[in-house]
Each structure stands twice: as structure tokens, then as C-alpha cells.
Amino acid sequence: MRSSITTLSPTTRVKTAAEFLLNGRAVAIDAASPETTLLDFVRARGLTGAKEGCAEGECGACTVVMVVDEGGRTTYRPVNSCLIFLPMVAGHEIHTVESLAAGGRLADVQEAMAAAGGSQCGYCTPGFVMSLFAEQYRPGRTGPCDPRSMAGNLCRCTGYRPIRDAAHSLGPAPDDDFRARLARPAPRLERVEIDGFSRPVTTDECVEILKQDPAATLVAGGTDLCVESNLRHKRWRHLVSVDGIAELRDFTESADVVRIGAALPLTDIGRLWQSAPPVISEWLELFASPLIRNRATLGGNLATASPIGDSAPILLALDASVQIAGSGGRRTMSLASFFTAYRRTALGPGEIITAIEIPTPLPDTIRFYKVAKRRLDDISTVAAAMAIDRDGSGRVRRARFAFGGVAATPVRIGEAEAAAVGQPWNEAAVERVQRIIDRTLTPMSDHRGSRDYRLQVSKSLVEKFWWETRA
Amino acid sequence: MAQQPTTPGGPLNVIGKRGPNIDAVERVTGRAKYTGDIDIPGMLVARVLRSPHAHARIASIDTSKAEAFRGVRAVITYKDAPKVMIWGNRQYALNNPVRFKGEAVAALAAVDAETAEKALKLIAVQYEPLPFVLDPEEALKPGAPQLFEDGNLEGMPRILNRGNIEQGLKESDKVIERMYHCPTMWSGGMEPRACVAQWEGDKLTLWASTQSPFRVHGSLAAMFGVPDGNVRIIASYVGGGFGTKSAPHTDESLAALLARKARLPVKLQYSREEEILDSNTRFETRIYVRVGVKKDMTINALELKAYINQGAYHTRLGGLGNQATHTYKTVNVRTEQYRVHTNIPNTGPTRGVGDPQEDFAVESALDEIAIEMGWDPMEFKLKNIKRNGDPIARGPAGVEDGRLITQVLDRCIELGAARIDWTRRNAAAGGQPGPKARGIGIALTERGGGGGVGGASVKVNLDGSAMVFYSSTDIGTGSRTTLAMIAAEVLSIPLSMFRTTAGDTEVAPYDGGSQGNRTLQGTGRAVQAAARDALDQILAAAGPMLDNTAPADLEMRDSVIRVKADPSKSVKLADVMQRRGRSAVGLGNTTAPQTGMNVERTTAAHFAEVEVDRETGKVRLLRYIAAHDLGRPINVTVVENQIEGGSIQGLALTQGEEMRFDKRTGGCLTGSFLDLKPPTMMDFDPRLIEAIIVPNEGVTGPYGAKGLGENPCHPGMAAVANAIYNAIGVRLREVPFSRGAVLAGLNAQRPAGSRTA
Ligand code: FES
Ligand code: FES
């Protein structure tokens, strides 16, 4: 159905079915259903070490590693194989737990997990092993392995202590084939065209595909779409992956703007944004588990326009704008006007987000708050980001109050911002802001939190922000 | 360990050490095969159609389109379900009417998952919705929707009476009345339910993710009317159970029915959502407590009236434990339990059964009354606990006809209090100024050890290696390891020479299964007996090779048999076995231990320290001490894992894992991990939990071991609630302890209009 598309660039047209390397062997991607997950695929091939615990990215029982490029360095990244559609791994190198002891000897991480008693029922274990494996081989790592690398893996049996002990007992990666692999470049993603799935390699190609097939659906990290498929059996006629578009994975920092490619995984944002204040890494950590961060992208998170999406409040507070490309050309709009209604955005048909731009210098004081039952990897009941700049006399020069979970879309409360500007940052200012919140916010009640609770939390977060930032 | 393990036979060589699980390699390499990993040529995939109504009669059901769909091999509805209950629990494999939203209405088997999913949509069902009820107390009111013809109350109210409660309360110097509520809570493991059924003629083999293979075995033999020997259940590797897999369940019956109809093997694997909805969860309890004390610090009366929400069907009947009757020396005790059916999913025993809920009520109420009297809650509890020699009930009737032995609860309290430094506790609750306040709380618990009938066999091979066969399971409790250690200790064959076959009802004798603290004690005693039997055979065979020495004068050490009187005369085990030319197969079929008047229990004291943020309502755990009596530890690593993992599960109950139901539809609102939030490594810093193994030795279990699995999960809710009270003076009587509840409690404390800063 897309023969017209493959003529875009006839010389690089993919002639054979796409392939990937699975535990060192080339495997053809069978195109029966593009929504087959990598997890189902490897398990059907008898590689049953990776398990299904939830099929929605919440447990890490399905963890495998992929070989990726990290700014010119090759590294292993653990990912949830339940959240990757099979065609998305075309050209990739994937290792499952079966790869580790293939030579007959246990890998260090396996030895360590066994010795520490880090495996009880063992159902979670292959997932932990793969997360920890990637951590042990992380280039440039010094000292013991960081147990936080396994924050995306759930265990119900242990109290996590033995798993943590295993991480702490591990030294440098041994001199083996896995380490040797890191000396060579990671695979470069090429164009893929198979039935029901496209992976263009430039923005123009992508826009062209969308023009030819307006019903096509974009997929970035896949962390949302795969859940739709796995749990609600949603199917798409044509998925277009933006994984291969180099421009969308760019990160640049200039004197007055930070530009983040829309398809850059969150992990890389943290890695590349060196001048970022600590609040940025805190926010990334609260956003999702490391496994999700290795795939999830800002473009994907903003495009779903979830009222409780975690990226919107902080990007709103940072005055971010969104760069958009479409067949009509390119445009930039402020994020504040990007969300139009519940789960609606200003994206026109055939348009894609290419980048998010954040003006610099950033506000003097920024805080991000996420109120959820669990600390990480959870849907917020209320998320808030607040920023203020003060002049020499301590009066507020600029204020930003942005919230998620309190209205149909993520919102900035302009009225409250205006009320704070020009005033001293004190308890009276807090009370003014709180009164405006009471009047203007319209949160919903659901099982995560009642209307009143959300309002009360929103107001106490303003107070907390003041308490933390008062002169 | 302070204590040097010894037995009459001399020092122990294997028992009491630390060590990794003997099957750790299988688990860390991903080679361990769980039920969902099994693939049989020609195997079909099953999917289940579930009710969209909380309560409805199926007026008609038309499966013809689904049956005609390409790739579908069998479809079943309630009409295909034998009229034999799954487990004496009012539930057939498929039922009409259906009694909870998400109950199985039909199931089908097809060549692959995609086909099965599509075909499910072709089953046409007409429902006649019926009124439904979700609340256990509502369900008992006149005019409430009825789930069963004989009403919603299951059986008779369970009443236990000791002394005279009314008089006891009247003669108390202080009485408080409180209600404590625990919602329905998820309790599952990482592996969702799974089974594979295969019929060969009228012989059924079922691989199942179950804790108790022989229960499933009995259930299916009865359902299909085949002899016991025609059924084989295999539960080799099980990805956690925590009670949810302790009884036969719908999925096993459905897979077996489909496989029989399709004449092909069938795999049925639940999604996480199905596992949450259609499993066996922790039952909701509403417990009304009255407690009376005398000025001399004695508990004079303790009454519990509990409404237990069993859900539509009881996987097994739920009930309280013995916190009220067995922990304290209270003379006047009454417990009254109403087990009520409502239109929510099945509930039943999960880790601790009703003990965590009961513990929350009893340990909170005692904390409350102690504080109201101006007493230190720890001193108060220490004064009232039963000690060795105190009367205690042997049976469920509650008559105190026995005598408590091997009890070290006082030591648990003392060691735990010293570790957390109980003296740092706030003398006055909520006294600390500022936005954050800290507090410390204590909660005790107790439980039986779980013995009963046990069965196992031990086989020593011709080369001197050995096997343990048992039909209870290793659901993550380390039983493969600890049971092999027991056999290794008895035989003195190195542990590295052992393999185990767990959870197989064809190769191993009958055994009660893995629940209720029983595997180590129940199966463990059988393994001990089986290993002794095998040893006797080996020594008898060695006699002729050692100048016809009588077996009683021989001993085996490290796989070498020696003449006791002259150790220079020896022969290697492998040589004995080679010459014997037959394996030595020892059998252990043990009955419940006979202890006469003596009653052995297993106890713990937990201490929580928390920090409460007065602005956000957030409760942060700072430290958690879990001091346990478990008799003699068989493997210290396994014990620590059980205590720490169980403690985290108890603590998780305080934070979430609540199953919420939509009042308008009866549907579960929390059908995913995203909603239930089992704790990750980042939620509880594992270093905060400290296990204390209180030195002790029991008398009923192998080598003095007592069961342990359940207890660590009991006291979390009460310990944290008591600590929160100590921090901010807010008493939480409803689980979970949400930020909203904390803030509401703080708001209620404040004079109107005031704010914190
Ligand atoms: S199966 Fe749970 S994260 Fe993939
Ligand atoms: S060992 Fe059982 S879930 Fe981790």
C-alpha cells in the first residue's frame, strides 16, 4: 500500500524484510502483525527468560537490553520489551537474559544476584539481571553499580535489600565479548518499510508519509501506544516510527535557547543537558522509571496531551515552545497555547512535533512537584511546576504557576502569576495565589483523588514552594 | 546467631547457615520454566469472556459464531460446567447468574491469541442485570440484593466466647470503642495465574501456577469424576503466590474443560488485570473493637465484631486470626465474625489471611487505650502478653485447655525496642513543632506454625547424588533449598549433590501444600523422616561391606559411611550404592506433631519510625525493625529474605494496593499496577528494614524450626498507624493511610482558620 512512499529515495529502499540481531543472531521480523511486541516475539522463539508481568511498562519483568549510541559512545540500554512493537527493533541489537550465560559461565550480575539471595520466586529475576547487566557495562561507570538502575523492576518477594547488595558487590565489567562490543559503534537506524509500518529517516520523509496516508499514526518511544495495544487491543492501520529521524533526536544548547529533539529519549535529555539545574534531573526521575525513560520522549508525552502528563507543567513553567513540521512548512508555537482541550492539541493533520525549545537563562528558582501514591513511575494526582525571578529588592519580577491534574488540560494560571508580579514574595502573596487557585481551578474527582483533595494539594504546593524559596 | 545449633546427634553441619538458594542458577539465567513458559506442540491459547455486570442472569448465550470462527477449537459456557463446585465454595467453573463484574461468562480456545481475542467478541450474551451490593454490612440488611438463595451470610456467624465480655467491660476502669477498616486489597505475586491442561484419554495433566497442587488435584478429580490417579498437577516454578494461589481457582477448571472439549492441550494465562480481578484477594474487614483495661495495666476485656467481605465466592472462607485470643492474657474475650457475600470479586486467604487486618484493629486499639491511660504502649503490651506456661487454646473453640511453650515474644519486644531505641519516642504525641514530625510505633503479632499431614520422598541415586520429591511448592519461600538442607543434614550428603522436584502430585506423596506457614514444618518433617528412612537403607547396605557391622553402629559423614567405634573402617556412599544396585528411596508420610497439652506459636514484634510532612500529608518511613521468633533458622539468608519481603508487603498495605470499586457499576477501578502501586526499590529504602532473628528453638518443626512466611506481613499497618499517631497525634483507623487522610486528620486538630507555616 505504500509503494509510492518507497519511491521517495529509491536507492535506499529496503528490499528484504527487516532484520535485527537477537542474542547475536540475525532474525527476520515477521510482519504478521506490527503490534506484536518484542516480548511476545522472543518468548515465542523459546527465549522465555523475559516474562510478562503487566504488559504496560510497570514491572520490568520483560526487560531486555538494546545496544544504542550515546553521543558517539556505545552502551547497553535496558528497555521494557512489552512496550516495543517488533518492527521498531529493525536494525537493532537486542540481548535477552539467555545471552548472558550462553558461554556456559554465569555473568557477573547473575553470580551476584544468586550469591546475595536476590532471587526468591525468580519471576522478576531475569528483568533485574538485565537492568543490572546494563548498569555494570555502563561506559564510564566508576565505583559500585547503582541500585537505582533497577528502579523500573518490581519484586514482590524480596525486600529489595539482597538485590541492592548484589548491585553493590559488582565491580567493573569483565573483559569479555560484551565489553568488546562497546568498542564498536552502535547500529545506525535505517529506513524501514514493511506492511503496516514505516520508519523514515528524515523529517521531510516523515511529513511526506503522513501526507500520503493521513490516517497513519506516529509512534515515538511507544510507551503509550503499546499499552493501548496490549491492554485495549487497539490496532493501527499504519504506524510511522520517528525513531530513525536524526533531527528529532538532536539536542542543542545555545546562548538563549535549549532545543530538545521531540524523539530524544528522556534518559538522553538528562545526559546531554549538562547546564540544567538539579530540578531537571529530579523531574526526569519522577517522570518515569529508568526503563521507561530509555524509550519515552517529550514529543510523545506532549502529543498525547494527557491532563496529567508529567512533562507539561514543568515545560509550561519554563515558557517552552513547540516546533512543528508539516506539509505546509514549519512553525513554532508556545506550549501554553498548544493544549486546546481535553486530550486535544493544536497539531494539524499530518503535522509532527520536531522539537521543544526552552528559553534561557532559566528562571532563578524552579521547583517541580508530583503528588502520587508512589514516588516514581506513577500517574500524578497533581503535578505542579513553579518558577519565580526576583529583582534586587526581593519583589517578584516573573512568576510561573503551572499545574497538571487540575483541569482538562495542563494549565498555567496567568491570573495568579500576574497577581504575584511586582509584589514581595511573602505569605500575603501566597494567600493571594491560593485564593485565585480556589476560584479558577476546576479539578475532577476520580479514584486518584477527589476535587477537594486536588484543590487542597494545589494550594499547599504553592505554600510549600514559598516555604522552600522564601528569602 | 548467638546460639550454637546443636542436636542430640552433635553439631549441625548444614542447618543454620547462610547460603544462596540451590536453584538460584536456574532462576538467574531465565532457565527456570514457569507455567507460562511451557509450550506443547499443538497447544491452543485460551481467552475468557467476562461479565460487564456486577450481578446478572445470563438470559441467553450464543456461541455459534465464535465456534464457526476460523481457528477456534472449543467454546464453553456455564452449560458445559459440571455441577461440581471448584472448592466447596459455591462456585462452579462457570456460573449463571454471574455475581461480580469480571466474572467468567464463557471461555474459548483457539490456535493463537489474536484469533482467540477476535472470537471472544463473537459470543453474544444477553444479560438480565440484577441489583447488586458491594458493602458487607449493607448486604446483611433486609431487602439487600441476594447473591444466593440462602442469603448473603456465609454459614453461621463465627462466635468465640471466653469469660464474660459484658461483665469484663463493666468491671474495667476504662473502655474504648473503635472501628477499624481495611479495604479489599490486592495481594498477588509477580506471575499472573497461568495453567496448561492436557488430556490423554481420561488422564489429565495440568501445569499450574499454584501453591497447593494436591488441592487442585482433588478439585479437578472431583469435577471430572475421574480417579485420583488420573490427575497429575505440576507446579514446578511458581512466580509468587502470597496465598492468592493457595486454593483451586476458576482458571484451572476452565483450561481443563477447554482442553477436554478441544482434545488438544490448552494454555490459559491471565493478564495482570485478570489476575487482579479474578484471583483471590485480601478481604475487606470492618472490625468493631471494644477494649477495657484496669488501672493496674491489665487488659480486662477485648471484643471484636468483624464484618468480612468475602466477595461473590470465597476462594476459601476468610476469617480473623488469633491476635485477640492468643497474644494477651485477657480473661474476657469475645470475637464475632460475619462472613458476607457481596458482588465484588473472590477473596480468601492471602499472606496472613485475616491476621494483618485483625492485628491492625487489636494493636491500634491497645495503643489507643494505653495512651489514653497515660501508659507506655510497649510496657503495657509487655505486661499483658502470654508467656511460657500460660494457658492457651489448643483448638478453634477458644477454650484455654493448653499451655504455651517455646514462646519468646518478650525477647522480640526487648530486642526490637533496643534496636529502634524506644526511648526516643515522643512522650506526648504530636509534640514536635515544625512542618515535619517523627514518631515511633509498636505492633505485635502471633500465629500458628502450620504442621499437619506432610508427605515427601528422598531418593539417593546410584552415584551418591540425591533428590527430594515433594508436592508442596517453592513459591519464593526457598523451600527447595531448606528442604534439601534438612535432607542433607540428616544424610550428611553435601547440599551440592541435591536436586529437588517440587509441586508434582504424581511423583511425590500427598501433602497439604504451601500455605499458612506450613511448608517448612509440615513438608519439612516429612522430608526429615524420608531422609532417615533412606539413611537406614544405606547403612543396612553398607554393613556387609564393613565386616557386617550392624546399621546402628554405623554413621554417615560427608557421604562416607564409617564404623562408629573404628572410623578407619569406611566405605564411600557411591560404592555402597553401586554395589546395592538400587536407589535408596526413603518415604516420609507424617501426621501432625503430637504435643499433648503443649502449644507452640510463632511471634514477632515490629517497630516503625515515620516522619510525617504536615503540609503534604506524606508519611515517610525512617526505620522498621522486625524482630521474629521462628524457632531455629534453617537458612539465615532465606529467613532474612522472608522477614524483609514480608515486612515490605505489610507496609505496602499502608500505602496503596487497595482495590476500589465503582459504586455505580461495581467495577474495579484499580485493575493495574499503575493503580495498585506495589512498592519499587525507590519507595522503601531496603536499608530501613532490619530483621532480628530472636534466638530460639521450637519443638514441633524439623530441627526446631517454626513456620515464618505469614507473620512478617501482619503488623505493618498497626505499627505505622501507631507511629503516625506518635508523630502528629492523628489516629488513622482506615487503610490506606493516604495523604488526604493525614491532612484531614491534621485539619481536624486545628482551631478553625489557623494555618501551619
Ligand atoms: S511486562 Fe511489566 S513492564 Fe513489561
Ligand atoms: S523474587 Fe519473586 S518477585 Fe522478585
Three-class HEC string of B212-242: CHHHHHHHHHHHHCCCHHHEEEECCECCCCC
Which pairs count as long-range contacts for B110-114, CB under 8 Å and 24+ apart, including other chains?
A: B110/B44, B110/B45, B110/B46, B110/B47, B110/B69, B110/B71, B110/B72, B110/B73, B111/B44, B111/B45, B111/B71, B111/B73, B112/B45, B112/B71, B113/B45, B113/B47, B114/A33
Task: Kindly write down the DSSP assignment for every residue of B530-554, as one continuous string.
Answer: HHHHHHHHHHHHHGGGTTT--GGGE
Q: Is B609 on the interface with A (CB under 8 A)?
A: no
Question: Which residues have CB under 8 Å from B290's CB, separation 6+?
Answer: B165, B169, B175, B176, B177, B301, B302, B303
Is the CB of B240 inside a 6 Å radius of any atom of ligand 2?
A: yes
Is the CB of B28 inside a 6 Å radius of any atom of ligand 2?
A: no
pLDDT, average across residues B215-233: 97
Tell me the per-residue pLDDT of B21-72, one tens digit each, with 9 for 90 and over. Answer: 999 999 999 999 999 999 999 999 999 999 999 999 999 999 999 999 999 9
Tell me the per-residue pLDDT of A394-433, one tens digit each, with 9 for 90 and over. Answer: 899 999 999 988 888 889 999 999 999 999 999 899 999 9
Tell me the per-residue pLDDT of B491-549, one tens digit each, with 9 for 90 and over. Answer: 999 999 999 999 999 999 999 898 888 899 999 999 999 999 999 999 999 999 999 99
Looking at this protein, which amino acid is placed at residue A218?
Answer: L
Looking at this protein, which amino acid is placed at residue A253?
Answer: E
CA–CA separation, B683 vs B685, rounded Å? 6
Is the CB of A408 inside a 6 Å radius of any atom of ligand 2?
A: no
Q: What is the pLDDT of residue B712?
A: 96
CA nearest to B475 within chain A:
A121
Set of chain B residues whose Cβ sits within 8 Å of the Cβ of A151: 680-682
Which pairs count as long-range contacts for A440-443, CB under 8 Å and 24+ apart, including other chains?
A: A440/A413, A440/A415, A440/A416, A441/A403, A441/A406, A441/A407, A441/A411, A441/A413, A442/A406, A442/A407, A443/A382, A443/A405, A443/A406, A443/A407
DSSP type of residue A247: G
Taking the CA of residue A62 as reference, the ligand 1 atom at the shortest distance is 4
Tell me the per-residue pLDDT of B316-364, one tens digit each, with 9 for 90 and over. Answer: 777 888 999 999 999 999 999 999 999 999 998 899 999 999 999 999 9
Count other Cβ atoms within 10 Å, centred on residue B421: 13
pLDDT, average across residues B237-260: 96
Look at B672 and A231 and tell me if their CB atoms are within 8 Å: yes
**Which triple of cell numbers denotes residue A258?**
535549549
3-state SS, B696-742, equals CCCCCCHHHECCCCCHHHCCHHHHHHHHHHHHHCCCCCECCCCHHHH
pLDDT, average across residues A279-303: 90
CA dihedral sign of residues A150, A154, A159, A162: negative
| Strand ranges in A249-343 using DSSP code E only, listed in sequence order | 251-253, 257-261, 321-326, 329-334, 339-341
Look at A55 and B271 and tell me if their CB atoms are within 8 Å: yes
Catalytic site includes residue B26: no
Look at B616 and A460 and tell me if their CB atoms are within 8 Å: yes
A37, A48, A65, A80, best to mutate for ligand 1 pocket (most atoms within 8 Å of CB): A80
Percent above pLDDT 70 for chain A: 93
Q: CA dihedral in degrees (B663, B668, B674, B677; nearest 10)? A: 90
Tell me the per-residue pLDDT of B367-422, one tens digit each, with 9 for 90 and over. Answer: 999 999 999 999 999 999 999 999 999 887 788 999 999 999 999 999 999 999 99
How many residues in chain B?
Answer: 757
Domains and CATH numbers, chain A: 3-15+187-241 (3.30.43.10), 19-181 (3.10.20.30), 246-469 (3.30.465.10)
Taking the CA of residue A121 as reference, the ligand 2 atom at the shortest distance is 2
A158, A161, A163, best to mutate for ligand 2 pocket (most atoms within 8 Å of CB): A158
Contact, B350 vs B247, CB < 8 A? no
Query: How distant is the alpha carbon of residue A4 from its chain centre?
Result: 33
Q: What is the pLDDT of residue B10?
A: 63
Look at A53 and B191 and tell me if their CB atoms are within 8 Å: yes
Question: Which residues have CB under 8 Å from B251's CB, separation 6+?
Answer: B193, B194, B195, B268, B270, B278
Domains and CATH numbers, chain B: 6-32+452-590 (3.30.365.10), 374-449+600-749 (3.30.365.10)
Q: Which of B191, B379, B710, B734 is catalytic?
A: B710
Nearest one of A91, A102, A97, A99 to A28, comparing CA atoms: A91
Set of chain B residues whose Cβ sits within 8 Å of the Cβ of A61: 190
Is the CB of B476 inside a 6 Å radius of any atom of ligand 2?
A: yes
CA–CA separation, B660 vs B134, rounded Å? 11
**Which triple of cell numbers denotes residue B723?**
507511629
CA–CA separation, B267 vs B647, rounded Å? 34
Residue B45's beta-bridge partner residues?
B110, B267
Measure Cα distances from A98 to A91, B451, B571 in Å. 20, 39, 42
Pocket lined around ligand 1, Cβ cut-off 6 Å: A 52-55, 57-62, 80, 82
- Is residue B9's pLDDT more than 60? no
Q: Is A147 helix (H, G, I), strand (E, B) or coil?
A: helix
Looking at this protein, which amino acid is placed at residue B377?
Answer: P
Q: What is the pLDDT of residue A451?
A: 80
3-state SS, B189-220, equals CCCCCEEEEEEECCEEEEEECCCCHHHHHHHH
| Angle at the Cα of B454 from the Cα atoms of B406 and B631, rounded to 5 degrees | 20
Q: Is A439 helix (H, G, I), strand (E, B) or coil?
A: helix
DSSP type of residue A313: H
Q: Is B39 on the interface with A (CB under 8 A)?
A: yes
CA–CA separation, B670 vs B144, rounded Å? 25
**Which triple of cell numbers denotes residue B357?**
487486618
pTM: 0.94
Q: Indicate the residue of A122, A162, A464 with minimum beta-carbon distance to B615.
A: A464
- Is residue B4's pLDDT more than 80? no
Q: What is the CA radius of gyration of chain B?
A: 27
By alpha-carbon position, which residue is closest to atom 4 of ligand 2? Answer: A155
pLDDT band at residue A377, thresholds of 50, 70 and 90?
very low
Question: Which residues have CB under 8 Å from B259's CB, separation 6+?
Answer: B44, B109, B197, B198, B199, B204, B265, B266
Q: What is the pLDDT of residue B483?
A: 97
Is the CB of A120 inside a 6 Å radius of any atom of ligand 2?
A: yes
Residue of B682, B685, B688, B743 to mutate for A, most A C-beta atoms under 10 A: B682
Q: What is the pLDDT of residue B212?
A: 95
Q: What is the pLDDT of residue B486?
A: 98
B190, B275, B481, B648, best to mutate for ligand 2 pocket (most atoms within 8 Å of CB): B190
* HSE-CB for A1 with a 13 A CA cutoff: 13
Q: What is the pLDDT of residue A17?
A: 58
Q: Which residues 257-286 of B have a C-beta within 8 angstroms of A?
A: 269, 271-273
**Which triple of cell numbers denotes residue B539?**
547403612
Contact, A284 vs A292, CB < 8 A? no
Residue of B22, B25, B26, B28 to mutate for A, most A C-beta atoms under 10 A: B28
Question: Which residues have CB under 8 Å from B751's CB, separation 6+?
Answer: none
CA–CA separation, B99 vs B147, rounded Å? 7
Nearest one of B273, B399, B236 to B667, comparing CA atoms: B273
The residue ranking higher by pLDDT, A71 or B481, is B481
Tell me the per-residue pLDDT of A136-156, one tens digit each, with 9 for 90 and over. Answer: 999 999 999 999 999 999 999
**Which triple of cell numbers denotes residue B497?**
549433590
**Which triple of cell numbers denotes residue B335?**
470475637
Taking the CA of residue A291 as reference, the ligand 1 atom at the shortest distance is 3
Q: Is A185 exposed, middle or buried (0-12, 13-18, 19+ CB in 10 A)?
A: exposed
pLDDT band at residue B450, thresholds of 50, 70 and 90?
low
Between β-strands B498-501 and A339-341, what pairing exists: parallel, antiparallel or unpaired? unpaired
Q: Is A261 exposed, middle or buried (0-12, 13-18, 19+ CB in 10 A)?
A: buried
Phi/psi of residue B590, each to 5°?
-110, 150
Residue B126's beta-bridge partner residues?
B60
CA–CA separation, A43 vs A51, rounded Å? 8
Q: Interface pTM (ipTM) of the complex?
A: 0.95
**Which triple of cell numbers denotes residue A9?**
529515495
Q: What is the pLDDT of residue A406?
A: 81
Q: Indicate the residue of B670, B689, B757 with minimum beta-carbon distance to A159.
A: B689
Ligand in closest contact with the CA of A61: 1
Least confident of A315-319, A352-356, B77-81, B448-452: B448-452
Count other Cβ atoms within 10 Å, centred on residue B51: 22
